[in-house]
Structure 1
């Protein structure tokens, strides 16, 4: 079996409706794009049984198509016993991924970043030797298409500003759901990851930055799916408080 160049975790929680369509899109793109070789690990985060059944069936069907076509890409499905959050699902997927992969990545299951866009990012990562982190960014600019409500845009800018005030990361967008990391730098850090939910993005960028990782922020096309799992007010408050606690933890002397 051809070793993957990129192991991509797709965290999924009750994604029985959206994931099958996205898996079909990923399959179509993989069938016409032989490299870089992807291992697509759908990591279910304790979904309801009916969603798990639909997710698993869609991944098995996608893998059957790839196998039948002789494609080097492959899908896998892993499942947690209970809901732990996006960060927990990503860590589970990376633990179960192929240890030979040169890059570790994650991609949101909603398809807001399309399969074509992710393959563009993966190709850029694997063909550019002087970068270690590739981060998708929802920047409205010529040549890029970003569909996003004004409220979610403003909420994102406030969060990005607070994040930069705490950590001085220098990214325009830390929360876009498509990121790739050089595996040789990230694997030694996996046991240090503690964030269970959405702050996993910031934690990863901070830890990689502390190791001297060379970043590249890539403007991507992005389409708001209109079905965010982030709850207005409650989760925003948790994220803002979480930034404070993370800053204290990651800047504590080792």
Structure 2
């Protein structure tokens, strides 16, 4: 049992997606209850419609019956995934570790626990990010188009932003809270590329980032539109590069 840590804050950003959270959240609550770790789980609702907010409140009560240390934060208007994650993290000034996991269930609860244990074992010196490994009991075969887009985006991240990461977009990451607070005022992206900016800011600050292979499965029902969102992500990479060249992320 981990006893020397004040708290681990894990945020799950959601947006009009209570159906998928219902399954994953139940499993995650059960895993947290058995893990004997000081995890504060925050479900961060990023501007969902009123009917979804009510469903999240009902789910919260069901999850709390299994694992009490769960809360729901509503953010409005919608700020996108990164905005919800940062909004929740910034309301936890006394935490020792900050993490997030997507609510679709692509990353299994056991992998989430392993990720959190590993960042704790690093003793505050390193962040840990999940690197997707295909497979799992609910695996959905990735289409050729999505596979190509994954490798293309990784190439563009390395080429445009100069960030050498195996997988910037996996929805499971954990960091020492103190090191996040030192760079939080340099973070501007809130959409799909917020992970890229976050990792680059850590890199520029000299923070070690460990990569951990995790089981991962593509979940049907993704809202990502490859044509529309790819343009937005590319524009975001160029914004990050401009800031990087102007010294925004330089360690002071």
TM-score (normalised: structure 2):
0.90
The match for 1:228 is 222
The match for 1:22 is 24
Are 2:48 and 1:54 equivalent residues in the alignment?
A: no
Q: For residue 39 of structure 1, report the CA deviation from its aligned partner.
A: 0.9
Q: For residue 75 of structure 1, report the CA deviation from its aligned partner.
A: 0.7
Partners in 1 of 2:19 and 2:159 — Cα distance?
Answer: 38
Q: For residue 117 of structure 1, report the CA deviation from its aligned partner.
A: 0.7
Partners in 2 of 1:28 and 1:130 — Cα distance?
Answer: 27
**Does structure 1 conserve the Cα–Cα contact (< 8 Å) formed by 2:12 and 2:43?**
yes
The match for 1:101 is 95
SS of the aligned residue for 2:175 comes to: strand
Partners in 2 of 1:177 and 1:39 — Cα distance?
Answer: 18
Distance 1:229 1:158, change over 3 A: same
The match for 2:185 is 191
SS of the aligned residue for 1:215 comes to: strand
The match for 1:89 is 84
Q: Name the count of aligned residue pairs.
A: 244
SS of the aligned residue for 2:225 comes to: coil
The match for 1:31 is 33
Q: For residue 155 of structure 1, report the CA deviation from its aligned partner.
A: 0.7
Distance 1:145 1:251, change over 3 A: farther
Partners in 1 of 2:10 and 2:175 — Cα distance?
Answer: 10
Please give the root-mean-square deviation of Cα atoms over the aligned residues, in Å.
Answer: 2.2
Which one of 165, 172, 176 corresponds to residue 170 of structure 2? 176
SS of the aligned residue for 2:26 comes to: helix
The match for 1:210 is 204
Q: For residue 237 of structure 1, report the CA deviation from its aligned partner.
A: 1.1
**Does structure 2 conserve the Cα–Cα contact (< 8 Å) formed by 1:144 and 1:221?**
no
Which one of 75, 81, 85 corresponds to residue 80 of structure 1? 75
SS of the aligned residue for 2:10 comes to: strand
Gaps of 5+ in 1: 68-73
Distance 1:145 1:123, change over 3 A: farther
Are 2:15 and 1:5 equivalent residues in the alignment?
A: no
SS of the aligned residue for 1:171 comes to: coil
Partners in 2 of 1:146 and 1:86 — Cα distance?
Answer: 23
Partners in 2 of 1:138 and 1:146 — Cα distance?
Answer: 12
Partners in 2 of 1:144 and 1:220 — Cα distance?
Answer: 13
The match for 1:71 is none
Partners in 2 of 1:80 and 1:128 — Cα distance?
Answer: 32
**Does structure 1 conserve the Cα–Cα contact (< 8 Å) formed by 2:134 and 2:216?**
no
**Does structure 2 conserve the Cα–Cα contact (< 8 Å) formed by 1:125 and 1:180?**
yes
**Does structure 1 conserve the Cα–Cα contact (< 8 Å) formed by 2:42 and 2:70?**
yes
